[in-house]
Amino acid sequence: PNVERQRQRFHQFRAIRPSTRDQLIVPQGFQYDIVATWGEDIGNGEKFGFNNDFTCYFGNNPNEGVLWVNHEYIGNLGMYVSGYMGEGQRTAEQIRIEKYNVGGSVIYIRKTDKGKWSIVRDSRYNRRITANTPINLTGPARGSEAVNGATQVIGTLANCSGGKTLWNTALSGEENYEGTVKNWSTPENPMDITHYGWIVEIDPLDPKSTPKKHTALGRFAHENAAMTVGKSGRVVVYSGDDANDQCVYKFVSDGTYQRDTGKQNSQLLEKGTLYVADFGSGRWIPLDIEKTPALREKYSSQAEILVNTRDAAKLAKGTPMDRPEDIEIHPVDGSVFIALTNNTKHGNYYGQIVRLVEDNNNHESTTFVYEIFASGGPQSGFACPDNLAFDTAGNLWVTTDISSDKLNTGAYKPFGNNGLFMIPTSGANRGKATQFASAPVQAELTGPWFAPGEQTLFLSVQHPGEETEDPRNPTSRWPRGDIPRPSVVAISRK
């Protein structure tokens, strides 16, 4: 029976109730331990960054492997990170500290005999990517006037969600870069806004590798990058632009995926077509200066279109959506699940999850149909869907992102703190959410990722205590009882 219990995957659990407690709550029979915490020594003289988001595990060993973690932003918890208290300009030193705390971490992690995960500090893989790391540009905008001639840029930031490539590298979405660049740009150290808002590719398994920003995938507030392959072998990457009335995109490579050439396939992300979704006609419209004549009214090069993707998408009549967040591809039927988190401008407070089906189930198709798979609200039990992940049985795991300042007020009162939910995509309970986890006060659960074999679920606890105004009196003291500390946890059965 012991072995049997171990084989039980995550989807059989007793639902928890919404909670407002300052704890990470998981169902009866489950436990969590902290894999990595903000500020922790990761070896090589580096420290784990702030506000962990997307996590992505590499390797087939369920008990040890490399974990890539995004570090999205500083927010008003800068009072702990850099001492910045939200009045006036940051000092050069504060900017230096904040730049170090975003980007991402590569950590080698292992489960000990006692079942607890921790960082293997002397691993050669451990390293930080920060807002100071040199990153190469690829694709049509590389070296173009539209990026002021840059072939290499400084750093990555606003790294929200992401994805894994077919060749075992991580993709990281630069999301809300605008405010961050503004906060950190000074007359002495100006930052070029056109160098941010891209999809970044990192190779966590090659410690010497230089990350890349792939300009062919467009520049906008990239939530994520969900990769799959079409029927003729072209690589397809879906990405949402998380802002009110922004669009859903997909990139289709010109070349085809060759399994045996491994990481050389990265070049596929340098040449292809970027499409924006028109949900009215069910068409993918190419944001391509040759194929869509309307774009020539405003733009004279493909590089310009890619750097100004949002505006180009509107000109091409892409459909404005209610904040497209994460996108995931169903492991069984290949349909595309898109989280629309909310759009308070339109009175959409709870959000929806859209299921898009490409014609002929071919991800290279330029036509599609869609349905609303699930709607947030007090009846369904969740609100503001954000990150998505599938287990191998095809259950959808959804984290929610009710803004910290709106939690437990007004329309959001029934939901308690943010959470993690499971929604079956087939069977009698199709579309019905049950709650698996509840976040500490003012935290968001992000980056759900199953280890191989699905005995462990990695999860980020991001921005606990985000509404803290006095650092001596934080609104959350998770996880150690002193100050709030964003951390990555590993959840497993007891």
Instruction: Provide the minimum distance between the beta carbon of 83 and ligand FEO in the complex, in angstroms, as a whole number.
Output: 24
Asked whether position 401 contacts Ca ion by CB under 5 A, the answer is: yes
Q: Which option in ligand FEO, Ca ion, none does residue 56 bind, with CB closer than 5 to 8 A by kind?
A: none
x/- map, 150-169, Ca ion, by CB under 5 A = ----------x---------
> Is there a contact between 154 and 125 (Cβ–Cβ < 8 Å)?
no
In the complex, what is the shortest distance from the CB of residue 356 to Ca ion, in angstroms, rounded to a whole number?
A: 15
The residue with its CB nearest to Ca ion is 401
| Rounded to 5°, angle at Cα 168 from 133 and 364 | 105
Instruction: Give the helix, strand, coil percentages of the chain, each rounded to 5.
Output: 15, 35, 45
Name the binder of 304 from Ca ion, ligand FEO, none, CB < 5-8 A by kind. none
The residue (of 341 and 476) whose beta carbon lies closer to ligand FEO is 341
- Tell me: does residue 466 bind Ca ion (CB under 5 A): no
In the complex, minimum distance from the CB of residue 341 to ligand FEO, in angstroms, rounded to a whole number: 7
Question: For the window 40-79, what string marks contact with ligand FEO as x by the rule CB under 6 A?
Answer: --------------------------------x-------
Cα separation of 478 and 19, whole Å?
15
Should residue 325 be labelled a site residue for ligand FEO when binding is judged by CB under 6 A? yes
By the rule CB under 6 A, 98 interacts with ligand FEO: no
Cα angle value 178/354/366 (rounded, 5°): 85
Stretch that binds Ca ion, among 251-259, 292-300, 383-391, 407-415 (CB under 5 A): 383-391
How open is the CA angle 77-79-80, to the nearest 5 degrees? Answer: 80
DSSP helix/strand/coil, 343: strand
278 is in the binding site of which of ligand FEO, Ca ion, none (Cβ under 5 to 8 A by kind)?
none
Angle between helical axes of 92-100 and 177-184 (0-180°, round to 10) = 140
Bridge partners, 71 (sequence order): 52, 103
CB of residue 239 to Ca ion, shortest distance in Å? 12
Instruction: Catalogue the long-range contacts made by 282-288 (C-beta closer than 8 Å, 24 or more residues apart).
Output: 282/367, 282/368, 282/369, 282/370, 283/366, 283/367, 283/368, 284/250, 284/365, 284/366, 284/367, 284/368, 285/316, 285/317, 285/318, 286/316, 286/366, 287/218, 287/312, 287/313, 287/316
Sheet holding 434-438, edge to edge: 385-390, 396-400, 419-423, 434-438
The entry of Ca ion, ligand FEO, none near residue 175 (CB within 5 to 8 angstroms by kind) is: ligand FEO
Selected from 160, 327, 329, 354, the binder of ligand FEO by CB under 6 A is 160
Is position 326 an interface residue for Ca ion (rule: CB under 5 A)?
Answer: yes
Please name the residue that has the structure tokens 């391509």: 288
**DSSP string over 365-384:** -SBEEEEEEEE-BTTTTB-S
Q: Does 242 bind ligand FEO (CB under 6 A)?
A: yes
Q: Which does 98 bind (CB under 5 to 8 A by kind): Ca ion, ligand FEO, none?
A: none
174 contacts ligand FEO (rule: CB under 6 A): no
Minimal distance, residue 412 CB to Ca ion, in Å: 14
201 binds, among Ca ion, ligand FEO, none (CB under 5 to 8 A by kind): none
Determine if 241 is a binding residue for Ca ion (CB under 5 A).
no
Q: Which entry of Ca ion, ligand FEO, none binds 466, CB below 5 to 8 A by partner kind?
A: none
Query: Which residue's CB is nearer to ligand FEO, number 73 or number 251?
Result: 73
**Quick one: which of 174, 201, 203, 223 contacts ligand FEO (CB under 6 A)?**
223
Q: Is 241 in the site for ligand FEO (CB under 6 A)?
A: no
Query: Residue 220 or residue 257: which is nearer to ligand FEO going by CB?
Result: 220
All residues at 6 or more sequence positions from 311 whose CB lies less than 8 Å from its CB, including other chains:
298
Q: Among residues 155 and 385, whose Cβ is nearest to Ca ion?
A: 385
Q: Cα–Cα distance between 338 and 238 in angstroms, integer?
A: 9
Residue 436 parent element (H or E): strand 434-438
Task: Give 368 or 390: the residue with its C-beta nearer to Ca ion.
Answer: 390
DSSP symbols for 94-135: HHHHHHHTSEEEEEEEEE-TTS-EEE-TT-TT-EEE-TTSEE
Distance, CA of 226 to CA of 240 (rounded, Å): 10
Measured from the CB atom, the residue of 65 and 140 that comes closer to Ca ion is 65
Tokens of 57: 């595990």
Q: Which residues bind Ca ion (CB under 5 A)?
A: 160, 326, 386-389, 401
Q: Which residues bind ligand FEO (CB under 6 A)?
A: 72, 160, 175, 223, 242, 325, 386
